[in-house]
Amino acid sequence: MGKEKGIIVFVTVPLKEVEKLVKILLKERVCACINIIENVKSYFWWKETISQEREALLIIKTQEKLFSKLKKIIKENHPYTVPEIVGIKITKINEGYLDWLIKETHASIN
């Protein structure tokens, strides 16, 4: 394909909310694939205290130009006030996988 770039986005989600968020993101076509790593034990500062939560880590594959749209949908559907949404540019990728990723998310680009 052309100048399209892929990114990986990491999002942590409470275990009970995982399936709901994953289905929304895939139906909106803002990503091509999501891997779920369950039972991630997270420790973090929240409201001046150290908190702990059992979460799932989503590993989301999408196009760089869809990051803003993906982030907006996550914020609208995530139970946390400040969800973790971290995007990392892909610098090396199987070209066939990138072509597939772009094809599967193309309909979401306006």
**What confidence tens digit (pLDDT) does each residue in 49-70 have?**
999 999 999 999 999 999 999 9
| Range(s) of the domain holding residue 67 | 11-108
pLDDT value for 75: 98
The answer to the question of residue 74 being in a domain is yes
pLDDT value for 1: 44
The answer to the question of residue 33 being in a domain is yes
The answer to the question of residue 3 being in a domain is no
The answer to the question of residue 70 being in a domain is yes
Share of the chain above pLDDT 70, in %: 97
> How does pLDDT run across 16-46, given as a tens digit for each residue?
999 999 999 999 999 999 999 999 999 999 9
Q: Which amino acid does the sequence have at 58?
A: L
pLDDT > 80? residue 74: yes
Pick 14 or 4 by higher pLDDT. Answer: 14
The answer to the question of residue 32 being in a domain is yes
pLDDT value for 106: 86
The total domain count for the chain is 1
Question: What is the pTM (predicted TM-score) of this model?
Answer: 0.92
Q: 33-46 and 49-63: which strand pairing?
A: antiparallel
Distance (Å) of CA 104 to CA 3, 79, 108? 16, 27, 9
HSE value, Cβ hemisphere, 13 Å, CA-based, for 66: 29
CATH number at residue 46: 3.30.70.120
The answer to the question of residue 95 being in a domain is yes
Q: Are 101 and 48 in contact (CB under 8 A)?
A: no
Tell me how far apart the alpha carbons of residues 78 and 81 are, in angstroms, rounded to a whole number: 8
φ, ψ for residue 95 (rounded to 5)? -60, -35
69: tokens are 């749209």
